[in-house]
Amino acid sequence: MDSDFDEFLHVPARLAIVALLAPAGWAEFGFVRDAVATSDSALSKQLAALAGEGYVEIRKQNAPGARRTQVRLTPQGREAFRRHAAVLERIAAAARAGSA
């Protein structure tokens, strides 16, 4: 397997999260939850795992009447996603070339 293939990042929930965050800056927790169609607890678990690897940064702020949580990719996370996406593109290209 290609050394840029990231098994940690390839978990579908994590891949969906980083793909969503790749073109963005800070994103609201609720937006990410709704966009990847998951629960608060499942998203929290995946974000904690991604943060543990240094792929995302989580910011919690106290807003009037609520606590806001925002998340973004770190430079390391952005690069890991770029490399992993490139591997997936190469795999898909090879499959297309083989079926022609």
Locate 8 and state its tokens: 């940690």
Check residue 47 and give its pLDDT.
98
Check residue 67 and give its pLDDT.
87
- Note whether 9 and 15 are within 8 A (CB): yes
Distance CA 100, CA 70 (A): 45
Q: List, for residues 13-69, the tens digit of each pLDDT value.
A: 999 999 999 999 999 999 999 999 999 999 999 999 999 999 999 999 987 888 899
CA 77, 79, 80, 85 dihedral sign is positive
Q: Choose among 65, 66, 69, 8: nearest CA to 33.
A: 69
99 pLDDT more than 80: no
The structure tokens 């929290």 sit at 44
Check residue 1 and give its pLDDT.
67
